[in-house]
Amino acid sequence: MRLSIFAAAIAASIGLAACATPSGPYDPNAPIAGATLVDERAMGMAVTAAHGADLAAEIAVDAGLLKGANAAKVADALDAAHTAIGAANAAYILGDAATYNAKVDAARNLIERAIALTPKK
């Protein structure tokens, strides 16, 4: 049962992280609004993916699949991902698009690393 929940958490993390695109019609006359919508959805998906990866790691630890040095690497990657998400949010508030994009990309890469290091069975 835990492994099926674990697999679902992993699938949700990856799937949600890939969905940072706007839904509905896009108005080319409103590029700033469209870009803002994509940025906000990217942030939301990064947060959701990070929480899903947190849950997957917790389940793997509870199941005895993730331990020792590997558990520490996963924890470090997820801590760094949450820090990158916080920095991206701060950059978004300041209107610093370059830093925002870099930090969202960093969070995604760290989440992917944590998922790759988390045993699946």
For the chain, what's the residue count?
A: 121
Q: Are 56 and 115 in contact (CB under 8 A)?
A: yes
Encoding tokens for residue 60?
A: 């793997």
Mind listing the pLDDT tens digit for each residue in 80-117?
999 999 999 999 888 888 899 999 999 999 999 999 99
Domain that holds residue 105: 2-117
3-class state of residue 28 by DSSP: coil
Q: What is the pLDDT of residue 8?
A: 54
Listing DSSP states for 82-98 in one string gives: HHHHHHHHHHHHHT-HH
pLDDT at 37 over 90: no
Mind listing the pLDDT tens digit for each residue in 23-36?
445 455 544 444 56
Q: What is the pLDDT of residue 121?
A: 78
Q: What is the pLDDT of residue 43?
A: 87
- Rg value, the chain, Cα: 16
pLDDT at 7 over 60: no
Q: What's the pLDDT band for 14 if we cut at 50, 70, 90?
A: low
What distance in Å separates the CA atoms of residue 59 and residue 43, rounded to the nearest whole number? 24
Is the pLDDT higher at 64 or at 14? 64
The mean pLDDT value of the chain amounts to 80
What distance in Å separates the CA atoms of residue 49 and residue 67, rounded to the nearest whole number? 22
Q: Are 78 and 107 in contact (CB under 8 A)?
A: no
C-beta atoms surrounding 32 within 10 Å:
7
Tell me how many domains the chain contains.
Answer: 1
Q: What is the pLDDT of residue 28?
A: 52
Q: What's the pLDDT band for 75 if we cut at 50, 70, 90?
A: very high
Q: What is the pLDDT of residue 33?
A: 45
